[in-house]
Amino acid sequence: MSPTRRPEPRPEIMGVAPYLGGESHVPGVSRIIKLSSNEGAFGPPPAARAAIAESAHDMSRYPDGSARALRDAIGAHFGLDPARIVCGNGSDEVINLLIQAYGGPGTELLMSAHGFSIYEIFGTLAGGKVRKLPEQELVADIDAFLGAVTERTRLVFIANPNNPTGSLLPLAELRRLREGLPPEVLLVLDGAYAEYVDRPDYDGGVSLVDAGENTVMTRTFSKIWGLGGVRLGWCYGPPAIVDVLNRLRPPFNISKAAAAAGIAALSEPRWAEHSRAHNHAARARVTEALRAMGIRVWPSEGNFVLADFDTEERARAADAWLRRHGIIVRAVGSYGLPHCLRITIGTDEECTILIDTLREFAESNAPWDTARG
């Protein structure tokens, strides 16, 4: 037997770097403020914690494979038809299922240059071609998307608000995109941060889903609902696409604990309103404070800001300084933004510590201040 013979995976798999999540530890530092994964500032709603504990009593039985009670709760909360909702083990799973169903070899997936990295990872793993399109000032450029469509284009992904830039496209621009795309191209609007947006014309993508048969909206319990560890996401889509996803998804992809947590989270009075109001105020405070230090902060509609330190060297120095003080933020070099750090909006106390620590950094780096004039 030749020693080199062994099972080999499909070639595209080894070409993909494994997804890197936000870090949570710094060696030698005991008190950590984790602002690296956009997890909601307040953790899980108390009702969700209780529901997870309660669900432990019933773990010998398989969950309901259709997640009926959870879909009913989501439908009631967001005013959507439960029959048109598909739940997933995180919205990442839903995104993967959509790509498995409509992408693959011979097809193209379009995303913007600094779009969410999971689209590229899953698109490549599925054997399709992923094309990243130029942006205008870190905002997805609809004309670039429309100009890039070929007969092989099957999928277009836009996170709105986008991670890691925080940018938001107005509904009119999304409508223009949808109208300009061929009807057989599936447009996926990723609303992972939808609950944080308070703009009158924003609906997370519902009106575009309802307007046709080729747009899907994905959502998650990992951000404002504080349940990233539970793994729970969902999508709202046209009946034909929902049917496809229900054939493709693993039969018991939503655990009993996850379903119970999701239902309970939605029942927590004013959770999203309270979290959104906090985020709005705290994000403005962080943004203004950083700008006063001479750090550029890109406008954000999410629960994070993208802080721009001009150079990679400066961003690395700021990252190292924050770590030394127990604050973990997200380096975004893998997104082609090595001069930036993505900072999650935490509690008021965490924001204060972040601001004070960054101010010390800025003040101890006087040459940089002068260089910026």
Ligand X SMILES: *Cc1c(COP(=O)(O)O)cnc(C)c1O
Q: Name the residue number minimizing CB distance to ligand X.
A: 90
Position 255 contacts ligand X (CB under 6 A): no
Q: Which of 40, 123, 128, 228 binds ligand X (CB under 6 A)?
A: 228
Nearer to ligand X, 125 or 353 (CB): 125
90 lies in the site for ligand X, by CB under 6 A: yes
Q: Say whether residue 165 binds ligand X (CB under 6 A).
A: no
Nearest-approach distance from CB 159 to ligand X, in angstroms? 4
Number of residues located near ligand X, criterion CB under 6 A: 13
Shortest Å, Cβ 167 to ligand X = 12
Q: Select the span of 90-98, 205-213, 242-250, 360-368 touching ligand X (CB under 6 A).
A: 90-98
- Window contacting ligand X (CB under 6 A); options: 85-93, 204-212, 309-317, 331-339: 85-93
Q: Is 204 in the site for ligand X (CB under 6 A)?
A: no
Binding-site member from 55, 96, 220, 253 for ligand X (CB under 6 A): 220
Site for ligand X in 103-132 (CB under 6 A): 116
Nearest to 113 by CA among 91, 152, 141, 92: 141
163 sits near ligand X (criterion: CB under 6 A):
yes
Segment near ligand X (CB under 6 A), from 63-71, 84-92, 207-215, 325-333?
Answer: 84-92
For residue 13, give both structure tokens: 């798999």
57-65, 89-97, 326-334, 343-351 -> range binding ligand X (CB under 6 A): 89-97
Minimum gap (Å) between residue 26 Cβ and ligand X: 22
What is the contact surface with ligand X in residues (CB under 6 A)? 38, 90-92, 116, 159, 163, 190, 192, 220, 222, 228, 233
